Structure 1
Amino acid sequence: MTTPLTKNPMPSWIESPYPHVQHSLITFPAKHILLVTINRPEARNCLPVEGTIELGALWKWYDAEPELRCAVFTGAGDKAFCAGMDLKQRLDIIETGEIAHDYPPGQFAGMSNRTGKKPIIVACNGHAHGGGFEAILNADVIFASPNATFALPEVLRGVSALAGALPRVFHLFGNHRAMDLILTGRRLGVQEAKDWGLVKEIVPQEKLLDTAIEYAKLIARLSPDSVIISRLAAREAWETGVSRATMRGQELWAENMLRSENAREGLAAYREKREPRWKRSHL
């Protein structure tokens, strides 16, 4: 059954309260799982500057909370995951002459340029345009509903996608597909997005969130140390190139991982033919 769109009480297994969030709903559908839902369906879940600042603080808290291992990110309703920034607010900001704003280091939704250490799975429940697409491009795994579309329409609005999307679409899709998207602002349909390797699976809307949560549970059942370090090594290649990434990941993390309680536990469980009992990560 799909998790209801209501705020759950803080579970007893969470050690520290999450930061104040006004524009999204925070729930905990299972042990070790965080569910974040952008909750502005009347505005196609577009985010004002304040909503992005909130999410930046929330993802930072998620990485630091030792009992959380995987997050799912979605939008309220069945029309849009996130239509990007609040363009009405952006126009107001420009007209005041104060174009700069204090976005978090992760940029739009605290995510479009997020590095972080823990995975975020997206349940894309509709349109992901502008900043919404920029955030999705930096997710770890994406499930999408049949009505999902993806677009960088900034050229249609006299602006540009500068929150992380441009280098990512190039690395993901290659030069010519990237240019097709960013120079025209056209919508990428969900089947095309799957064919291009962006979407893992197209899931009926009524099953989308449950599917993403069950997938997050699979990750949460694994060694949190192994998940963090494997993700780090892969993302270092994504950000910097294969050879440099391999060296840096080994230098920073490999020895600590092999000396960890979870490495011993995983190997002992294999030898003893039992399920491992993972400890919290101290990385």
Structure 2
Amino acid sequence: MSVKRTKNPVPDWIQVPHPEMQHCLVSFPRKHILLVTINRPQYRNCLPVTATIELGHLWKWYDSEPELRCAVFTGAGDKAFCAGMDLKERHDVLLTEEVALEYPSGQFGGMSNRTGKKPIIVACNGHAHGGGMEMLLNADVIFASPNADFRLPEVIRGVSALAGALPRAMMLFGNHRCMDIILTGRVLTLKEAVDWGFVKEVVPLDRLVDRAIEYAAEIAALAPDSVIISRLAAREAWEGAGISRATMRGQELWAENMLKSKNAEEGLRAYKEKRDPKWFPSHI
């Protein structure tokens, strides 16, 4: 069952309207910031295939909208950020022998294997299991509520987390921690997630989204070109290049565009004139 389509006012500083969303709410809590809320709390915010396709389109729109600089991603309710795939739908698909699910290039939620240009900050309001955990493993920064926990339970269901989670868990946690959670399907507790450096900060549920928005606003106040380039250059290593090659790739891909941009000129001029910079929209 899907939630009703909800229309949210689009501010006049947005140049192109966002794609229609059936399963998520889209809002703009501050200038330059996008807030996306999975709106299926009665199903612990699990995502059917149509929701993943919608989110794939939305994240591409976010990357292409010049006035948006940072996104916050959360779930409705107080139980779950995302319980993963809609398993009832998955079972029905298997029964019809239509095994291939038409996911976007970013995979689950348009995010679990997303490269993208701009950062996504997650406000994890409860548990993140299966595909929900896969999305978190590819998030940029994670804030979590005290009732949050994390899990890749696929081995319990007879499937495997092939939408990006397994190599990312290995990169983030190392071999032994990764194997512990992916081979048993056990719950990764919030304390472990903090100790392992996975969660940045634990925030009371009633303050969680506001805290994530405050953090996004810190990023949005910085040079938008520099944020995009710094993120992409760092991800060269995340995507498999060694440190030296990742450094060279960052220079090859971004150095010239960065130094010739209006924002580089503005940042340096503002420093010289001892004033706050006034950033231009990014068109990288």
TM-score (norm 2): 0.97
Residue of structure 1 in register with 2:42 after alignment: 42
The within-5 A match list for 1:1-283 is: 7-240=7-240, 241-283=242-284
Q: Is the 8 A contact 1:149 1:189 kept in 2?
A: yes
Shift in Å, 1:8: 2.9
Instruction: Flag as ranges the 4+ runs of structure 1 deviating above 6 A.
Output: none
Unpaired stretches in structure 2, ≥5 consecutive residues: 1-5
Q: Deviations over 1:228-254 (max 9, x none)?
A: 000011111111232221111111111
Identity among equivalent pairs (%)? 76
* Aligned AA (2:103): Y
Alpha-carbon separation, structure 1, partners of 2:196 and 2:12: 42
Deviations 1:124-170 (A, max 9, x none): 00000000000000000000001000000000000000000000110
Deviations 1:180-223 (A, max 9, x none): 00000000111110000100001110110000000000000000
| More moved, 233-242 vs 184-193 | 233-242
**Match for 1:191: what amino acid?**
K
Report the 3-state secondary structure (helix = DSSP H, G, I; strand = E; otherwise coil) of the residue aligned with 1:29: coil
Q: Which amino acid in structure 1 is aligned with residue 32 of structure 2?
A: H
C-alpha distance in 2 between matches for 1:142 and 1:242: 24
Distance 1:143 1:223 in 2: 23
In 2, Cα distance between equivalents of 1:43 and 1:244: 44
Structure 1 gap ranges (5+): 1-5
Q: Secondary structure of the residue that 1:268 maps to in structure 2? A: helix
Q: In 2, distance between residues paired with 1:26 and 1:282?
A: 22
Paired with 1:19 and 1:210, the residues of 2 have a C-alpha distance of 24
* Cα distance in 2 between the residues matched to 1:206 and 1:17: 30
3-state secondary structure, aligned to 2:74: strand
Could you list the per-position Cα deviations for residues 25-63 of structure 1 after superposition, in whole angstroms to 9, with x for gaps in the alignment? 000000000000000000000000000000000000000
The answer to whether the 8 A contact 1:7-1:27 is kept is: no
Counterpart Cα distance in 2 of 1:7 and 1:243: 47
Distance in 2, Cα, partners of 1:7 & 1:224: 28
> What amino acid is aligned across from residue 274 of structure 2 in structure 1?
K
How many Å separate the matches in 2 of 1:278 and 1:8? 27
Give the secondary structure class of the aligned counterpart of 2:29.
Answer: strand
Q: Match of 1:209, SS?
A: helix
How far apart are the structure 2 equivalents of 1:142 and 1:178?
18
User: Following the alignment from structure 1 to structure 2, what is the Cα–Cα distance between the partners of residues 252 and 147?
Assistant: 41
2:143 is paired with a residue whose SS is strand
Match of 1:3 in 2: none
> What number of residue pairs does the alignment pair up?
278
Secondary structure of 2:90's counterpart equals helix
Following superposition, the deviation at residue 7 of structure 1 comes to 4.9
